[in-house]
Amino acid sequence: MKTKILFVTVLFTILSVQDARSQIFHEVGAYIGFVAMYSDYGQRNNFETNIGNTGFGAGAVHYLNFSYGSKTDFNLHFMVRNEFSFHSTNLQHYGDWVSAARTSESADKLRAMKGSTTVFEFGSHLEYHPRDINSFSYGSFALAPFVGVGLNVVFYNPKVTSELGRINTPETTPVKYYNAFKTGMSTTFALVGTVGTRYKLNQESDLMLMLRWQYYFSDWVDGLNPSFENNKTIEVPENKSNDWLFGINLGYIYYLN
């Protein structure tokens, strides 16, 4: 229900400005960067996991800039960002349970488990710029920080394998992970939060540095979801949340108008 409310809010914001279409300026751009996937691979709150399960991301963006129209607070401080993005991450288990000191059969199975996920997303986000967007466009100052929130439609394609053989068998899979695998293309939504800044290159273009946090409305984005409901044997209390990621992006923005 919350997802639907957010989606309707973003859509209403876009539609509400259509009567001022002639005063909307357009900007396009692209970004690249790195993503860290926080999923069911690896030990929670573990440094090796946090830096190990990382991948590459890229995206294309389109901005609706209202600041050249009437000088309302909304027009001078808010923009709508539409984006299409892609990221891919290789995944494996890190942390204490797969350390060299662990010589059990279960540790061997965890070390042999490998995964990956490829994700395509598109959506609309509302950005708030504390500094006057119009003044920044004309070069009155060099930096323009922003924060944003939005909703993405997500298409994800995870894969899971084991170096010991076919996955989901007693020879390859710890009991905790029985029947906890899903591969192939699926869809979900993601709540996206961003914070960053633009740097003015010239009157027609900016550099952008953006940090992003994405919470997926699914625990299957990585292809793995250990739980009692799936394995029918043991509880998995450490699996407390859906998959999410953190990304660092560097981009270039060009003003079309």
pLDDT at residue 4, rounded to an integer: 53
Per-residue exposure over 115-152, b if at least 16 CB sit within 10 Å of its own CB, e if not: bbbebbbebbbbbebebbbbebbeeeeeebebebebbb
Domains within the chain, CATH numbers bracketed: 2-255 (2.40.160.20)
Work out the pLDDT band at 13, boundaries 50, 70, 90. Answer: low
| pLDDT above 80 for 73 | yes
Of the candidates 88, 89, 71, 76, which has an alpha carbon nearest to the alpha carbon of residue 129?
Answer: 76
Written as one string, the DSSP assignment of 37-91 is EESSSS-TT-HHHHHHSEEEEEEEEEEEE-TTSS--HHHHHEEEEEEEEEEEEEE
pLDDT of residue 2 exceeding 80, the answer is: no
Helix (H) or strand (E) holding 105: helix 105-112
* pLDDT, tens only, 91-133: 999 999 899 888 899 999 999 999 999 999 999 999 999 999 9
pLDDT of residue 71: 84
pLDDT at residue 46 in the model: 85
Tell me the average pLDDT of the chain.
Answer: 90
* Residues 51-76, mean pLDDT to the nearest whole number: 92
